[in-house]
Structure 1
Amino acid sequence: MKIAFDGKRFFNNTSGLGNYSRDLVRILATTFPENEYVLFNENQSERGKDILEIPNVSFVETSKGTMSRQFKMGIDAQKINADIFHGLSGELPLKWTEKPIKKIVTIHDLIFLRFPQYYSFFDRIIHFWKFKKATVQADLIIAISEQTKRDIIKFLKVPEEKIRVVYQGCHQAFKENQTEEFLSSVKEKYNLPVRFILNVGTIEKRKNLLNIVKAINGTKIPLVVIGKKTKYFKKIKKYVIKHQLENQVFFLENVSMEELAGIFKLADVFVYPSFFEGFGIPVIESLFSKTPVITSNLSCLPEAGGENSVYINPHNFEDIKAKILFLWNNESERKRRAEKSFEFVQKFNDVEIGKNLHSVYQEVMLK
């Protein structure tokens, strides 16, 4: 099979959709090397350069023109005789010729419909139109969780039989055993506490960092936070200063993927009380790192966390505090949950994900 991909996120996004796109192409290219994988975009970047070095992965520059991604990319894929076009981020090109080509789109979440207050009216209208159009065009739809599948059925009115759930994995760095020397160098570079709890993700209201900070107030538990700052960060900083937590809450930036994997391994507990996620990759990253997880009992997070993660009501910081103290003060329980969760997270390894993706491709070719 020859599979064409919309490479915009693969080349342009540093996290989230970018990581999903790069991991998906890497997994397929290494698990099913008999296929040909072609990335379309207006240009390349340094991101994913290692993946483009895999013999069966190539780049094709999209034809020039206004809105070339929407009006040229699909036709370009047809010109190279691609069997399948896979839109990796909720969109498909708008223009095609009569030439046969199967279409698949991945939808990660419909947060803009569940939490419209986080989006402008214009953005909500555009997102809804693009997603709805893609689900109509697609021969099959990939949802990254059962939660997202339910949302696609509910909000976009898509028949259940058109949707396949294929979970995401995470970067290879989280599955590797870094040396003690490397971990020590990371700890020294970022001046990390001897023990700490960790939170990773964009510092935005939906991710609910403020309730973690409130939860550790009155304890001596250090919190390390890694993520891009938004306006919401000002609210966090104000609380930290007001309650004199400057020496307890540490914000890190410009952390490489390998360093991030090391910090996950160094942490005692990973805390992720998000109000809603399409999947929650940081949870998977933590489980592969053998670091126990405290996360929300909402949306897809129990799917990602499994039965040995600890679940909280994200609206209740006292509940978060109680669960943090429970794991912080109980080393044997941390180890037990970490080991059991490591067994569970193997369902998100590259081989399983590759098989599931490939089965969707094989299925769509028979439609």
Structure 2
Amino acid sequence: MKILFDHQAFTGVRYGGVSRYFYDLMITLRQKDIQTQLSILFSNNAYLLESGAFRVQSFSYFLGFMPTNMLFSQVNRLWSIAKLKQDDYDVFHPTFFHPYFLNHAKKPYVLTYHDAIKDKFGARFGHIDNASKELKQQLLDRAARVIAVSENTKKDLVELFRIKPEKITVVHHATAFQGLQVPDAFQVQVPDAYLLYVGARNDYKNFIPFLKALAPTFQKYPHVQLICGGGGPFSPEETQAIQQVGLTDRVSQRNIDDFVLYRFYQKALAFVYPSLYEGFGIPILEAFAAGCPVVLSRASCFPEVAQDAALYFDPESEEDIRQQLETIIGDDSLRRSLIQKGRERGRDFSLEKMASQTLQVYQQVV
């Protein structure tokens, strides 16, 4: 069987949950002797560039970030159209919601729906993608099958779109961190005690309200710091918020790759995920795999994913966030218990399982 994936999630995105999902899926399918093709010529995606599994050329942002991304996206789109017209595949799996392929794909396509953040919250987070609800409805209508990354996301799909539940298959995410072998000699410099935040910090990620809740806790525990892994440098708004709550010397942003991030999880007092809404939450599985206690919003799919292997708080209550953070910082036995529960829960998710379930979806549509 030949599966064709496209460029959309990879062109200008260096890191990110969606590109990581598709990269891990393609690699794991190859290990099962499934031919996976990726229709892309130019990419700055770290997973593609560092692995060497796919032939891509990096590019510089000579026109500025967005204009350059748009230019190379157009080039990659033309290449994807050419690959579709060659018709040398059995199933097409687009990696995002641009409809360029609708007039060119002659074989069935499968669509993965990651989260309902824009479609559920509308204008509040409306800039997350450029795909309207009407466009997504068109893509969902014409897809042979739809993959939802959690039961919560499937529920959102059925509520928000005209789609029958039986057309949707739930396939949970997984993480390569389960089998990641970090050399003992590879170490990172970290504070003696710190909480870890990972990834983007915009809007629904709830980062600035989290900072405000964190400030009194850090006054109570002056030895604890916060590391923000990835997500780019702090914006002026974030820097101002950090200053306003008096945490300038206690909060830092660090660039990450897999080895660095693994060590960050491994040495943290806890990983904290204050997001208001997510489709799945891959960092939860990363923390489980690295042996890091997890503290989560009691929201969206998080209880489905982590079950009893996490401590939960109301993401819109400063008092509840603060209370749970103080609990995790001050209770060694709770941290040890959550680490053990996290390792056990993490075994329910694997790349092999994700790839096998996805392959079953492909086989249904051929």
- TM-score band, normalised by shorter chain: 0.7 to 0.9
| Contact 1:312/1:323, CA 8 A, preserved across alignment | yes
Do the aligned residues in 2 keep the contact of 1:143 with 1:166 (CA within 8 Å)? yes
Does the Cα contact within 8 Å between 1:74 and 1:95 map onto a contact in 2? no
Give the Cα–Cα distance (whole angstroms) in 1 for the partners of residues 11 and 76 of structure 2: 14
Contact 2:328 2:335 in 1 (8 A): yes
1:208 to 199, 206, 209: 206
Structure 1 residues 266-321: Cα deviation after superposition (integer angstroms, max 9, x where no partner): 11101111101111111111111110111111111112222121111001121111
Matched residue of 1:311: which SS?
A: strand
Structure 2 residue 123 is matched with structure 1 residue 117: yes
Report the equivalent of 2:70: none
Does the alignment pair 1:135 with 2:140? yes
Shift of 1:71: 7.7
Matched, 1:106 2:107: no
Please state whether the residue corresponding to 1:136 is helix, strand or coil.
helix
Distance, in Å, in 2 between the alignment partners of 1:51 and 1:129 is 37
1:35-66 Cα deviation digits (max 9, x unpaired): 2111112535574146553xxx778xxxxxx9
TM-score (norm 1): 0.84
Q: Which residue of 2 aligns with 1:62?
A: none
Contact persistence 2:171–2:358 (CA under 8 A):
yes
CA contact (8 A) 1:166 1:356 kept: yes
Note the C-alpha offset of 1:86: 0.7
- Taking a change above 3 Å as real, the CA distance of residues 36 and 304 of structure 1, as seen in their structure-2 partners, is same
8 Å contact kept, 2:276–2:297: yes
| Equivalent AA in structure 1 for residue 191 of structure 2 | P
RMSD: 2.9
In 1: Cα distance, 2:129 partner to 2:273 partner: 26
Which residue of structure 2 aligns with residue 82 of structure 1?
89
Unaligned residue ranges in structure 1 (runs of 5+): 60-65
Task: State yes or no: 1:176 paired with 2:170.
Answer: no
Q: 1:344 to 1:146 in 2, by over 3 A?
A: same
Report the equivalent of 2:62: none
Q: What is the CA deviation profile of residues 321-354 of structure 1, one whole-angstrom value per residue up to 9, with x for unaligned ones?
A: 1111112111121111111111111222111112
Residue 136 of structure 1 deviates from its aligned partner by 1.3
> CA contact under 8 A between 2:12 and 2:45: conserved in structure 1?
no
Q: Deviation of residue 256 (structure 1)?
A: 2.1
Change beyond 3 A, Cα 1:300–1:308: same
Aligned to 1:94: 102
The corresponding residue for 1:224 is 227
The residue that corresponds to 1:196 in the other structure is 194
The CA deviation string for residues 48-106 of structure 1, in whole angstroms up to 9 with x for no partner, is 146553xxx778xxxxxx96777873563352431100112245512137x5x121011
What is the CA-CA distance between 1:127 and the residue it aligns to? 3.0
- The residue type paired with residue 207 of structure 1 is K
Amino acid at match of 1:262: R
**Cα distance in structure 2, aligned partners of 1:198 and 1:324:** 12
Amino acid at match of 1:76: K
Structure 2 distance, partners of 1:46, 1:157, is 34
Distance in 2 separating the partners of 1:342 and 1:2 = 34
Identify if the C-alpha distance between structure 1 residues 230 and 179 changes in structure 2 by more than 3 Å, giving closer, same or farther: closer
Summarize deviations over 1:230-283 as a string: whole Å, max 9, x none.
88x44443333233222222222x322221121111111011111011111111
Deviation at 1:360, TM superposition (A): 1.0
Mapped contact 1:116–1:124 kept (Cα < 8 A): no
Query: 143-152 or 44-53: which moved more?
Result: 44-53
Question: 1:3 corresponds to which residue?
Answer: 3
Q: Point out where structure 2 has 5 or more consecutive residues left out of the alignment.
A: 57-72
Q: Is the CA contact 1:7–1:41 (under 8 Å) kept in the aligned structure 2? A: yes
Q: Percent identity?
A: 25
Tell me the secondary structure at the aligned position of residue 299 of structure 1: coil
1:12 maps to 12
Q: Which aligned pairs between 1:1-367 and structure 2 lie closer than 5 A?
A: 1-16=1-16, 17-30=18-31, 32-33=32-33, 35-43=34-42, 47=46, 48-49=48-49, 53=53, 73=80, 76-91=83-98, 93-96=101-104, 99=106, 101-119=107-125, 126-170=131-175, 172-173=176-177, 175-183=179-187, 186-187=188-189, 192-217=190-215, 218-220=219-221, 221-229=224-232, 233-252=235-254, 254-365=255-366
Kindly indicate whether the alpha-carbon contact (under 8 Å) linking 1:10 and 1:18 is maintained by their aligned counterparts in 2: yes
Aligned equivalents of 2:6 and 2:157: distance in 1? 21
How big is each residue's C-alpha offset from its partner over 1:139-174, in whole Å with a ceiling of 9 and x where there is no partner?
A: 00111111221121111211111111111122x346
Q: 1:162 to 1:75 in 2, by over 3 A?
A: farther
Distance in 2 between residues matched to 1:21 and 1:297, nearest whole Å: 27
Give the deviation of 1:209 after TM superposition: 1.7
Letter in 1 for 2:40: N
SS of structure 2 residue aligned to 1:303: helix
Preserved CA contact (<8 Å) 1:211 1:317: yes
1:42 and 1:49 map into 2 onto residues whose CA distance is 12
